[in-house]
Amino acid sequence: MPDPGRGSGSQTGSGFPLGSGSPLAPGPEAAVWLATTPDGTELFLREWAPAPAATPRGSILLVHGLGEHSGRYRRLAGFLTEAGYRVRAYDHAGFGRSGGARGHIRRPLSLVDDLATVFEDFDAVVRGEDAAAPPPLVLGHSMGGCVVARALSGGRLHPTAAVLASPAVGQRAAGMQNAALRMAEFLPARLTAPNGLPKSALSHDPAVAAAMREDPFCHDRISAALAHFVFDEGERAVADAGRVPCPVLLLIASADRVIDPAGERRLAAALPAATTRVEEFPGAYHELFNEAEPTRAFALDALRGWLEGLK
């Protein structure tokens, strides 16, 4: 379903000041709006309310991956709202409907800064409505998992718990289509190149790749600065993983050809053992929550069980 266009709908509770554009009208699946970061970059945000029949369980912030946008998480958001969660998501700067040069980052840690800003705002909104509410959880996929892992290990984020789904951390010679990304590292910082990620390797369901190819809000650009972030900060996330302050569910796709699962296994070994749960799915491709059945059901069952076990 395409995103709604600009309209006269009202903002839905963000503490960000609105940018110069009008808010975006609520759509049938989520309320959507534009917000502005402290450095003036406009971010596109979405929020899904808990299902009316569900017992409220808390809130979750979704953080998307390379070349995509938050709208690709509607189905996962539906699963989480049925479980009683309030779900917020945003498009990274340079992706989807957010501002910024496509596939580029403004500063070495601007993705981490943006995540911290969005998370803190979401936390303030949730606590403003219920002072006893716990901080939101955070779920990051692929590059979004790298951003979340770096924010956690660097002390920038203090969620109730975190889910890292196929996080692009600890990437070395294999995986991440390194030929394309390593080439991007040697380009001038703002110059972008195709990211080389194979859409056919996202899922065993061919409809997933087809939908991404047709999605006007997806792109294949990556700058040298962003390539450096993936490799350098993803490695630091592994090195500092012992500092992660919250429970973590790490989901690994064993047959991933988009990133190298070896990096995720190194992360698994470095995270605090007492608060980390690792689930690896044999034969699975990169997008576990978009995989063909029954793998998708197994991944969602693992997520459900872990969420239900949180104190």
Span 242-252, pLDDT tens digits: 999 999 999 99
> If phi over 0 gives left and psi between -120 and 50 gives alpha, with beta otherwise, what is residue 154?
alpha
Our answer to whether residue 256 is catalytic in this structure is yes
The rounded distance, in Å, linking the Cα atoms of 57 and 308 is: 9
Active site residue: 70, 110, 142, 223, which one? 142
Select from 149, 77, 162, 159 the least CA-distant residue to 120. 159
Are 72 and 78 contacting, i.e. CB atoms less than 8 angstroms apart?
no
* CA-only gyration radius of the chain, Å: 18
> In this predicted model, what pLDDT tens digit does every residue of 46-78 receive, in sequence order?
999 999 999 999 999 999 999 999 999 999 999
Domain spans of the chain, in order of start: 48-309
pLDDT of residue 194: 85
For domain 48-309, which architecture applies? 3-Layer(aba) Sandwich (3.40)
Our answer to whether residue 142 is catalytic in this structure is yes
pLDDT of residue 187: 62
**Confidence band for 3, pLDDT divided at 50, 70 and 90:** very low
- Average pLDDT on 199-219 reads 96
pLDDT of residue 197: 86
Active site residue: 113, 114, 123, 256, which one? 256
**Confidence band for 228, pLDDT divided at 50, 70 and 90:** confident
> If phi over 0 gives left and psi between -120 and 50 gives alpha, with beta otherwise, what is residue 284?
beta
Contacts of 218 (CB under 8 A, 6+ apart): 67, 68, 69, 72, 212
Our answer to whether residue 219 is catalytic in this structure is no
Residue 25 has pLDDT above 70, yes or no: no
pLDDT of residue 2: 31
Q: Sheet containing 85-90: which strands, arranged edge to edge?
A: 31-36, 42-48, 85-90, 58-63, 137-141, 162-165, 248-253, 276-281
> In this predicted model, what pLDDT tens digit does every residue of 85-138 receive, in sequence order?
999 999 999 999 999 999 999 999 999 999 999 999 999 999 999 999 999 999
Contacts of 296 (CB under 8 A, 6+ apart): 288, 289, 290
- What ranges make up the beta strands (E) of the chain? 31-36, 42-48, 58-63, 85-90, 137-141, 162-165, 192-194, 221-223, 248-253, 276-281
